[in-house]
A and B are shown apart, each in its own frame.
Chain A
Amino acid sequence: MLQIKCPCCGPRDHDEFRYAGDASVGRPAHTDADFERWYRYVFVRENPAGAHREYWQHVMGCRQWLIVERNTVNHTILSVNFSRGTPA
C-alpha cells in the first residue's frame, strides 16, 4: 500500500486518496479554442517508466488536490505538493 505524505494531513494510506491522472499535461487556458491543444490535453499521455507527476485528491481527508511525483517502476513517492501554488 502506498503512503502519501499529504502536506496538510501527514502520511496517509493511498486508499484515502483519489487518483486523477497525469499532472504533467498543461490544461489549455479556459478561453483557448484550439482543438488540437484540447485534444492533446484530454487524450495524449506519455506513460513514462520512472518519475511521473500525477494528481491525487485527498478525498477522505483535507480534500486538497495534490501533485504527487511517483516513480512508476517501483512506486516510490518522490514529492508531494499542493496543486494550488505549484507551478505546472
Chain B
Amino acid sequence: MRRLNKLGRIDRSQPIAFTFDGKTMTGFRGDSLASAMLANDVTIVGRSFKYHRPRGIYSAGPEEPNALVTIGTGGRREPNLPATTVELADGLVAESQNRWPSLKFDVQSINSWFSPFLAAGFYYKTFMGPTRRSWMFYEHFIRKAAGLGRAGQEPDPDRYEVRHLFADVAVVGAGPAGLAAALAAAEAGAKVVLVEQDFLAGGYLLSEPSAGQAGAWLAGMLARLADMPNVSLMTRTIAFGAYDGNVLGLLERHNSSSVDPRQGEARQTLGLLRAKSIVYCTGSIERPLTFANNDRPGIMLASAARTYLNRYGVLAGKRVLVAADNDSAYSAAIDLAAAGAQVTIADSRAQPGPQLLEQARRGGIAVRATSMIAKAIGGHNVRAVVLIEPRGKTTLECDLIGVSGGWSPTVHLTSHLGIKPVYREDIRAFVPGKLGAGQFVAGAVTGSFTTEAAVDDGHRAGNEAFAFCDAARSSQAQVKFDLPKINAKLGVIGDDGNSGLRPKPPLSPAFSTQTNEGVGGKMNLAKGKAFVDLQMDVTVSDIALAHQEGYQSVEHLKRYTTLGMGTDQGKTSNFYALSAMAGLRGMAIPDVGTTTFRPPFTPVAVGALAGLSHGHHYKPFRRTPMHDWHVSNDAEMLETGLWMRPWFYHASSRDVNEAYVAEMRNVREAAGLMDISTLGKIAVQGPDAAEFLDRVYVNGFAKLPVGRARYGVMLRDDGIVFDDGTTTRVGDQHFFMTTSTARAADVMSRLEFLLDTAWPDLRVSVSSVSDEWAAMSVAGPKSRDILAAAFPDLDVSNDALPHMGLLEGRYRDRPLRIIRLSFSGERAYEIYAGASVGKEAWCRLIDAGTPFGLKPYGIEALGALRVEKGHVAGPEIDGRTTLDDLGLRRMAGKSSGFVGEVLGRRQAFSDPERPRLVGLRCVEDGRRLRGGAILFRPNEPVQGHGLGRITSTTYSPTLDAWVGLGLLATSAAQEGAEFIAHYPLKGEAVRARVVSPTFLDPKGDWFHG
C-alpha cells in the first residue's frame, strides 16, 4: 500500500468502495479517482492512443494526458475522463480504455514494433496518394485500433440542465490569487461568483502540507467568504470558455453516484455566467521533460507527486528520482523525503543555489548537478533511470520519477477571444496578452509564481474588477480590509530572494535538449521513444520529421503530427512543441507563434450542451386551435417546420398513399375541410397601406375594392420570388394578408424592415395576427351548401359572396371572416374565426357538412390538389426561381415599381436554357413520377444534371394518371415533348410528357359561379 496513515485532506473514517476494471477497491472521502487508484497500487491505467504503450497517472489535475478512464455503465458511460479530475464516489465504476484484451497484455502494443510506419503523416502518406482506395478497406481496423473510450449505446437516463448566472465580478480559479480577488471584490460590495474546477477550493495550497500555514490561511479565507451573502463559491465547476460580452461558459458537475434523474436532479449543469468583469486566476501547469521512455508508468510531474502526498496521503514511490531544471521541484523532493522516501534530485543546472542545496541536504536528499535523464528503464513501471552527467552515464534504481521542466501559465481562457499570449523571455513562458475591457488577471497566470505575489495581485485585481463594474461605489468605498497575510516561509526558499512555492524557472534551455532523439540533431543519448504529447503519442522525432517535410508553421505541425489534438488539448505538450520547432528552425519562440486557443478548455459532454433540449423538448411545437380534434379523430400528425399538422386521417385509410387519394376524391366529389391556421396572417393598416402593398407585391393592390381578395406574389430585392399569398381589403385602410406557413416569420420581418428602414415616410403599421385567428378551408362542389347550413344567418350566395369576395360576420362574439378563395381548384371558402373558438367553428362545419359528405383532409391531399390544379408552392418557390420561371410574369403588369423589379430583369434570368415551370404527365401505365427526378431527352446519355427536374408529383384521381410539376429548360419545354425522368435513388426511369401545368378545369368553371 502506498497510502500513509497520516497526511492529506482525506477522511480516513469514511471509506469509499469503487471498482476499476471489475476489481473492487477502497478509497476515502476526499480522494480523486487517480489518488485512490495510486493508493491501491494501480500503476497502469490505460494504453496509449497509437502505440498501445502502458500508461500511468501523470498529473494531478485537468492537464492529465494519460490516465483517461470511462466512468459508469450502460447509458451513463462517460468516456475519456481524466482520473485526476474524477471525485471518488460510492459505487463508482471505472474502466480502462484502448486495451484489448487486458491492460497488462495488449495485443496492439505490437504497434510499437511497427512504429517506424506509424510516424507523423502516416495516414496522409498511406491513404491519400495512389493507395487511397485501400483506406476504404483499412479504415475500420485503423479506427478501432487508434482510439479512445467508447460512449454508451443506450439513451442517457440522466438529466442535464442549463442555468444562467449573473455577477458583478466573476473570478476563475480559487487558488490564493482567486480567493484574494474574490474577497477584495466582495468586501467592496460586489456580487461575486468564484468558480473552481476542483471539488475543493484552494488551488495549489491544497498540495501544501495540510497541517501547515497554507492550510490555516486557506481555512480562514474560506470561512470569511462563506460568511458573505454576496459571494457564491462554485466548486466542481470548470470555466471552459470565455465569450464576447464577458460571458463565461461553466460546466458544473454534480456528484455522479448520487444524482437521481427521477427526482429531477441534474448530473451536470451548463452555466452561462454573465459578468460585468472577470478576474482570471487560472494558475499554471507544470511542464514535463522529454527523454527516452518518458511515458512509462511511474513517471509523473514532480508537483503531482507532491499533491498525491500532501493532499491525498499517498506516497507514490519509495525510491524517487526528481529531475528538474528549476527550484520548484525541490519542494516535492523535500516533502517526499520527509514522508520516508529515498530521494535523489537530478538538476540539469550546473550550480543550483546554495540555499536550495542546504535545504536538500537537511532533508537527506542527494543532489546531482548537471545531471539529466537519458532514459527510463522498465515496462509496466519504471525500475531504473539512466542519467547522463559530465563524467558519463549512471544508472540509478527508482520506482518513481518526478519531472519538472518549469511552469506554463494557464493562458487558455484569456486567449479564447483571440488575444494572443505574449512570450516572456525572463520566465521562458507565455503570459496573457492585453485583455479586453473588464478582464483582469492575477497570480501564476501572469508569470509571477510566488504565493505572496499571488495574494497581493489577487487583491489588486479584485479591487480593479469591482472598480470597472461599479466605478461610483468603488471610489467612495476605498475598501480597507484586512487580508490575511500568508507567511513568506511556505515551501522552499529560492536563491533569487523570492520566497514561495514556485520559484521562477531558470533560463537554462536544458529541458528542451534533454532528449534522446535530439531536437535538430543536438544530442543522441539513448534509444527509445521520447514523447512530447503523451496522449496523441507524438514523439520528438515526429516533430523533427514534420520539420523536415516542410510542416514548419505551428498550425501545420499540429495538424500533421496531431500534437495537441487530444482531449487534453496539449496542456502539457504545446510549449515543448513550440520550443522544439523554434530550435529546428533557428528562430526565437515568439517568432514561431502559438496555435489558436479555442473553447472548450476541457471536454464538455454533448448532453450538458443540450441540457433539456432533446427529444420532445428539442424545439417548440406549435399547435393549431383544432389540434386536439385532429388527434382525437385519428389524424396522422406530421411535423412541418415548427407546426404539427394533420398529414392524413386514418378514417380515409391507414396507408398514406390510399388516404390522400381518397381525401382528394372526396374534395372533388363532395367537400373537404382543411385546417389552415398555420398560414401567416398579417394586418396591414394605415393611410398608405394600399401604396405599401403595391410596392411589396409585383401585382397591384391600390385599386383592390374593399371586400375583395387578390392573390399576390412578392420578390426579394435580387428579383427571386420570395413568397405568395392572398391579401384581402377589409377596409379602406385595412388589409388582411396571408403568407405561406413556412415564410410567415420572414415575410413579417421583411415588411417591418421596409417600413423601418426604406420607407419610413409611409404611414403604415403591420402586425402579426397569425395566432389570433383560427383558419379552415372548406373546398368542393358542396362547400356553399355546407357553409349555408353552418352559418344560416349569413348570405353566402354567389351574388353576396362571389369568387375572391369577403364576407364578414360574427361568431361567438368574435369577428368572423369568410373569404372565397380556391387553392384546390374547387369552389372553396376560407373561414377565419377567433382562435379561442376555432375548434367550435371547425366542429360546427363538420356537423353541418357531414350530411353533405364533408370529411377532413390532411396536408398530403392538400399538396396533391394544388399540384393537380397547377399552383406553385414551396417546392417551386425554392429561392432560385423568378417570375418568368414560374410563369407568373403576366402578374407584374403595373407601371409603378415593385421590390425586386430591377434586378428581376437581369439578363441571365432570360437565358433560354433556364428552367421554367411545366406540367408533366406520366405516359407509362402502372408507373409513377417522383419529386426530385432528373429530366433527360429520350436519346440523351444520362449524365450531369439533365435539362430539368420534377419538383412535385401526385396521382390524379380525376385524370387517373400520375402528374407532376417540374422546372425544365425553356428551349426544351414544348408541350407534347417526351422526356425520361430518372430517379437514381431507386434506379427508376420513366417516360413523361410535357403538358400544361393546369391539369384540369383550365377555364376555372369549377370555382366560379
**Which A residues are CB-close (under 8 A) to B245?**
1-3, 75
A1-B272 in contact (CB<8A):
yes
List the A side residues contacting B902 at CB < 8 Å: 32-35, 38
Query: What is the CB-to-nearest-CB distance from B721 to chain A, in angstroms, rounded to a whole number?
Result: 15
Q: Bits for B897-912, please: 1 = Cβ < 8 Å to A, else 0.
A: 1000111010000000
Cβ of B476 within 8 Å of any chain A Cβ, yes or no, is no
| B775 interface residue (CB < 8 Å to A) | no
A83 to B759, CA, bound (A): 11
Are B758 and A39 closer than 8 Å at their CB atoms? no
B756 within 8 A of partner (CB):
yes
Specify the chain A residue showing the minimal Cβ separation from B753.
A65
Query: Which chain B residues lie closer than 8 Å to A23 at the CB level?
Result: 757
> Are B903 and A42 within 8 A (Cβ)?
yes
Q: Does B582 belong to the interface (CB within 8 Å)? A: no
Per a CB cutoff under 8 Å, which of A34, A38, A83 touches B756? A83
The verdict on B22 contacting chain A, using a C-beta distance below 8 Å, is no
Q: How many residues of A contact B (CB 8 A)?
A: 31
Query: Which residues from chain B contact A33 at a C-beta distance below 8 Å?
Result: 897, 901-902
Residues of chain A within 8 A of B247, CB atoms compared: 1
Chain B residues within 8 Å of A74, by CB:
417-418, 436
| Contact residues of A between 49 and 88, Cβ < 8 Å to B | 55, 57, 59, 63-65, 74-76, 82-85
Q: Is the CB of A57 within 8 A of B244?
A: no
Interface: B760 (CB within 8 A)? yes
**Given that A1-B244, A2-B244, A33-B897 are contacting pairs, would A57 and B903 also be in contact in the complex, using a CB cutoff of 8 Å?**
no
A57 is contacted by which of B749, B758, B901 (Cβ under 8 Å)?
A: B749
Please encode chain B, from 447 to 459, with 1 for each CB lying within 8 Å of some chain A CB and 0 for all others.
0000000000000
Q: Once bound together, how far apart are the Cα atoms of A43 and B901, in whole Å?
A: 15
Contacts of A83 in B (CB 8 A): 756-757
CA distance A57 to B758 in the complex (A): 14
Complex alpha-carbon distance, A26 and B619, angstroms: 37
Chain B residues near A55 (CB-CB < 8 A):
753, 757
Cα(A75)–Cα(B244), bound, Å: 7
Q: A45 in the interface, Cβ–Cβ < 8 Å? A: no
CB distance from B232 to the nearest CB of A (A): 20
Q: A31 within 8 Å of B by Cβ?
A: yes
> What does the 1/0 interface line of B560-602 toward A look like (CB < 8 Å)?
0000000000000000000000000000000000000000000
A75, B243: Cα distance in complex, Å = 10
Q: Across the interface, name the chain B residue whose C-beta is closest to A38.
A: B902
B695 at the interface (CB under 8 A from A): yes
Whether B749 and A59, one on each chain, are in contact in the complex, defined by CB atoms closer than 8 angstroms, is yes
**Cβ of A9: which chain B residues have Cβ within 8 Å of it?**
none
A23 to B757, CA, bound (A): 9
Closest Cβ of chain B to A20, distance in Å, is: 7
User: Do A35 and B757 have beta carbons less than 8 Å apart?
Assistant: no
Chain A residues with CB under 8 Å of B437's CB are 76
Interface assignment of B795: CB less than 8 Å from any CB of chain A:
no
The residue on B at minimum CB distance from A28 is B902
> For the complex, is B717 an interface residue (Cβ under 8 Å from A)?
yes
Q: Which residue of B lies closest to A41 (CB)?
A: B717
Complex CA–CA separation, A59 to B756 (angstroms): 13
Chain B: residues with Cβ within 8 Å of the partner, total of 28
Residues from chain A with a CB closer than 8 A to the CB of B274 are: 1, 3
B90 within 8 A of A: no
In the bound complex, CA of A30 to CA of B755 (Å): 12
The A interface is mostly helix, strand or loop, or mixed, namely loop
Q: Are B717 and A38 in contact, CB atoms less than 8 angstroms apart?
A: yes
Q: Which of B241-263 contact A (CB under 8 A)?
A: 243-245, 247
> How does the 8 Å CB contact mask read for A14-46 relative to B, with 1 for contact and 0 for none?
000010100100010011111100110111000
A17: shortest Cβ distance to chain B, in Å? Answer: 11
Interface residues in B718-745 by Cβ distance below 8 A to A read 718, 745
Question: Quick check: B272 and A57 within 8 Å, CB to CB?
Answer: no
B752 interfacial by beta-carbon distance below 8 Å: yes
Residue of A nearest to B898 (CB): A30
Question: How far apart sit A83 and B758, CA to CA, in the bound complex (Å)?
Answer: 9
When distances are taken between beta carbons in the complex, the residues of chain A under 8 Å from B745 are 59
A30 near B753 (CB under 8 angstroms)?
no
Given A2-B245, A35-B903, A42-B717, are A30 and B749 neighbors across the interface (CB < 8 Å)?
no
Q: Which residue of A lies closest to B906 (CB)?
A: A35
Question: Is there an interface contact between A63 and B897, defined as CB atoms closer than 8 Å?
Answer: no
In the bound assembly, the distance between CA atoms of A63 and B274 in angstroms comes to: 24
Task: For the complex formed, measure the closest distance between the CB of A68 and the CB atoms of chain B, giving whole angstroms.
Answer: 13
Check if A27 sits within 8 Å of B272, measured CB to CB: no
CB-contact partner of A64 in B272, B756, B760, B905, under 8 A: B756
Contact at A57–B753, with CB atoms within 8 Å? yes
A27:B436 contact, CB within 8 angstroms: no
Chain A residues near B903: list those with CB within 8 A.
35, 38-39, 42
B749–A18 touching, CB < 8 Å: yes
- Chain B hits for A31, CB < 8 A: 896-897
Tell me the bound Cα distance from A32 to B549 in angstroms: 59
**Chain A residue at minimal CB-CB distance from B767:** A63
Asked if B752 and A65 make an inter-chain contact with CB atoms under 8 angstroms apart, the answer reads yes
Q: Is B272 a contact partner of A63 (Cβ separation < 8 A)?
A: no
| B418 CB contacts on chain A under 8 angstroms | 74
**B667 → A minimal CB distance (Å):** 37
Closest to B272 in A: A1
A57 touching B897 by the CB < 8 A rule? no
Complex Cα–Cα for A35 and B905 (A): 9
Measured between beta carbons, the chain A residues less than 8 angstroms from B749 are: 18, 57, 59
Contact call B756/A65, Cβ cutoff below 8 A: yes
Min distance, Cβ A61 to any Cβ of chain B, angstroms: 13
Q: Is the CB of B752 within 8 A of A30?
A: no
Give Cα A35 to B851, complex, Å: 59
Which residue from chain B places its CB closest to the CB of A18 in the assembled complex? Answer: B749
Q: A27-B757, A38-B903 are in contact. Are A63 and B752 (CB under 8 A)?
A: yes
B269-301 contacts to A, CB under 8 A, are: 272, 274
Taken together as a complex, chains A and B put the C-alpha atoms of A41 and B695 apart, in Å, by: 18
Q: Which B residues are CB-close (under 8 A) to A34?
A: 902
Name which residue of chain B comes closest to A23, CB basis: B757
List residues of chain B with CB within 8 A of the CB of A41: 717
A18, A30, A31, A43: most-surrounded residue (chain B CB, <10 A): A30
Residues on B with C-beta less than 8 A from A1 are 243-245, 247, 272, 274
A-contact bits for B744-776, CB 8 A (1 contact / 0 none):
010001001100111110000000000000000
A43 to B905, CA, bound (A): 15
Residues on the A chain within 8 Å of B897, using CB = 30-31, 33
CA of A84 to CA of B902, assembled, Å = 25
* Residue of B whose beta carbon sits closest to that of A82: B756
CA distance A32 to B272 in the complex (A): 48
User: Which residue of the partner chain, among B417, B756, B758, contacts A30 with CB atoms under 8 Å?
Assistant: B758
Say whether A65 contacts B717, CB under 8 Å: no
State whether B760 touches A84 (Cβ < 8 A): yes
Whole-angstrom distance from the CB of A43 to the nearest CB of chain B?
8
- For B896, the closest partner residue in chain A by CB is A31
Output the least CB separation between A14 and chain B (Å).
8
Choice from A3, A39, A63, A65 contacting B757 with Cβ under 8 Å: A65
How far, in angstroms, from A74 to B749 measured CA to CA in the complex?
Answer: 28
Q: Please, how many angstroms separate the alpha-carbon atoms of A59 and B633 in the complex?
A: 36
Give the chain B neighbours of A42 by CB distance below 8 A: 717-718, 903
Chain B residues near A85: list those with CB within 8 A.
Answer: 760
Minimal Cβ-Cβ distance residue in A for B758 = A27
Would you list 24 pairs from A and B whose C-beta atoms are within 8 A, ordered by A residue?
A: A1-B245, A1-B274, A2-B244, A20-B753, A27-B758, A30-B695, A31-B896, A33-B901, A33-B902, A35-B902, A35-B905, A38-B717, A38-B903, A42-B717, A43-B718, A55-B757, A59-B745, A65-B752, A65-B757, A74-B418, A74-B436, A76-B437, A84-B756, A84-B760
Residues of B at the A interface (CB closer than 8 Å) are: 243-245, 247, 272, 274, 417-418, 436-437, 695, 717-718, 745, 749, 752-753, 756-760, 896-897, 901-903, 905
| CB-CB nearest 6 A-B residue pairs | A65-B756, A38-B902, A75-B244, A1-B247, A3-B245, A83-B757
Extra A-B contacts (10), CB below 8 Å, given A34-B902, A38-B903, A64-B756: A1-B244, A1-B245, A3-B274, A33-B897, A33-B902, A57-B752, A83-B756, A83-B757, A84-B760, A85-B760
